[in-house]
Structure 1
Amino acid sequence: MPSETPTPAAVPLRHLYKIPEAMRLLSMSRSVIYEQIRAGRLRTVNQGRARLVPALAIQQYVELLMRESGVEYDQAS
């Protein structure tokens, strides 16, 4: 009897994104991205001289925007 292997959890395509990639993912300009970083609304990490945006931070930022706009959504979909 073949053993069933558990389905792995969904993993983002990448865990860290460069600022230009985050700009494309969020459809925001460079200046708006940096404003949100300075305001503490979008978290980043540094690797050497590079500033990177974690995939989790992008997801949390989108959820923050949706909460602020009063949008209700189903997280399961």
Structure 2
Amino acid sequence: MPETTTPATEPATKQAHTVDEAMRALNLSRQSLYDEINSGRLASYKYGSRRFVPVQAEIEWIGRMVADGGITTASRRAEKQAQRAAAE
């Protein structure tokens, strides 16, 4: 009797990335990724203790970076100073 096999199915497309996957996808360091998340520029969510970044949020973030010319170190520094001043 011939062996029956099931047809190969394509893997489902991921809808969200882990932090490590998002770091690789966006070419950002962990700190830069969390800076973008904490500033509200990059959406994310937690499921249990794990944080995920929706792929659509990554696509939108890239679009904004291209349109805005990116985020420079100086603009990040100025933003952090403004946050510290607001906290005092």
Normalised to the residue count of structure 2, the TM-score between the two structures is: 0.63
For residues 22 and 43 of structure 2, the distance between their equivalents in structure 1, rounded to whole angstroms, comes to 11
Q: Residues 12-46 of structure 1, C-alpha deviation per residue, up to 9 Å, x if partnerless?
A: 83101000000000011000000000100010011
Aligned partner of 1:13 in structure 2 is 13
Identity of aligned residues (%): 31
For residues 63 and 49 of structure 1, the distance between their equivalents in structure 2, rounded to whole angstroms, comes to 29
Segments of 5+ residues of structure 1 without an aligned counterpart are: 1-11, 71-77
Matched length: 59
Q: 3-state SS of the aligned residue for 2:63?
A: helix
User: Which amino acid letter does the alignment assign opposite residue 34 of structure 1?
Assistant: Y
Q: 3-state SS of the aligned residue for 2:65?
A: helix
Q: CA RMSD in A?
A: 1.7
User: Which amino acid letter does the alignment assign opposite residue 31 of structure 1?
Assistant: Q
Matches within 5 A, 1:1-77: 13-69=13-69
Normalised to the residue count of structure 1, the TM-score between the two structures is: 0.72
The higher radius of gyration belongs to 2
Which is helix-richer, 1 or 2? 2
By relative contact order (CA 8 Å, sep 6+), the higher-ranking structure is 1
